[in-house]
Amino acid sequence: MGSDARTRRIPTGVSDFDSIIGGGFPPGSVVLLLGDVGSGYVEFAYTSAAKLSMAIERPESVSFLMGDSAAEGNLPERIRYATFFKPREEILQEILFSFNDDFHSAFRKHVEFTDFSERYFEQSVVPPAWIGRSSSLLEPRKGGLVTSFVDFLDSKAEGSVVFVDSLTDLLVNDSVGIMEVVSMLRGMRRMAKRWNGVIYLLLTSGILEKRKEQMILDSVDGVLVFEWSRHTTSSKRQRYLHIAKFVSLMPHLDEQRIARFATSLTSQSGLVVIDMERI
């Protein structure tokens, strides 16, 4: 493997974070965004998808949108967003209310949605009228929700950045077993190296018992942990991000002895890194 392969990166779109990790994540990465409720892991996904979409639309503005380190990286061919029960319009509404018009416009125009809600609610008490038909839903092979999702990745993930919102929804579905998800993730991790994009999986902390959560963590390339922490001198809370696992990045971060990153949410910039704490 040549030096180009070692240095290639796909930007996350969170500019200060990209500058610290060398421009983004290596192509072929499966990255778990693990977080407390409200800690920023969902907003990281929204910020990343929106900023990448704006960069694809206006490639001459990459440095301005995402920083100089991102300008040296590789933009994906497409941005894809897969959901298990959240419809496209609900996500677009969340972005409209939370961020500026540029975020919303870029998301609407450039992010390709796939909604698995029909399959997700198939065995539930939810009536079809509550769900509506989804024109983007792929015809599933025999095998259920996970197989439908695997088919989607097999046909759509190549050259793309894919956001999966969320792994939590898949794991709490009664029709899906933990080992089925673990096997899927291990296969996904192998195939992602051929697809040459980045796959982000969102997971809420504390949903799974510790042993099962660790099985999920062991099945991906990288884990970003988002959490709340109280200031020692006041009752205020601060959002933090740290890299719990990433073989290709951790040695470089360890050289800088970085412990965690303080983050903030703004309507103009989405999720931003405002400080980093060193050991």
Alpha-carbon torsion, ordered 74, 80, 84, 87, to 10 deg: 130
Give the pLDDT score at 133: 56
Kindly report the average pLDDT of the chain as a whole number: 87
- Span 180-206, pLDDT tens digits: 999 999 999 999 999 999 999 999 999
CA angle 83, 86, 91 (to 5 degrees): 100
**C-alpha 261: how far from chain center:** 17
For residue 183, the Cα-to-chain-centroid distance in whole angstroms is 19
| Separation CA 75–CA 53 (nearest Å) | 9
Domains along the sequence of the chain with CATH: 3-278 (3.40.50.300)
pLDDT for the residue numbered 1:
45
**Using one digit for the tens of pLDDT, what is the confidence trace for 114-160?**
999 888 888 777 777 777 754 444 454 456 889 999 999 999 999 99
- The DSSP output letter for 25 is B
pLDDT over 50 (residue 98): yes
User: Which DSSP state fits 139?
Assistant: P
Beta strands at 222-230 and 29-35: parallel, antiparallel or unpaired: parallel
**Tokens 């719990």 sit on residue:** 244
Please check the confidence at residue 2 and state whether its pLDDT lies above 80.
no
Question: How does pLDDT run across 13-29, given as a tens digit for each residue?
Answer: 998 899 888 889 999 99
Q: Number of helices (H) and strands (E), helices first, in the chain?
A: 14, 9
Q: 212: which residues sit within 8 A by CB, 6+ positions away?
A: 178
pLDDT of residue 134: 47
Residues in the chain: 279
Query: Helix, strand, or coil here: 198?
Result: strand
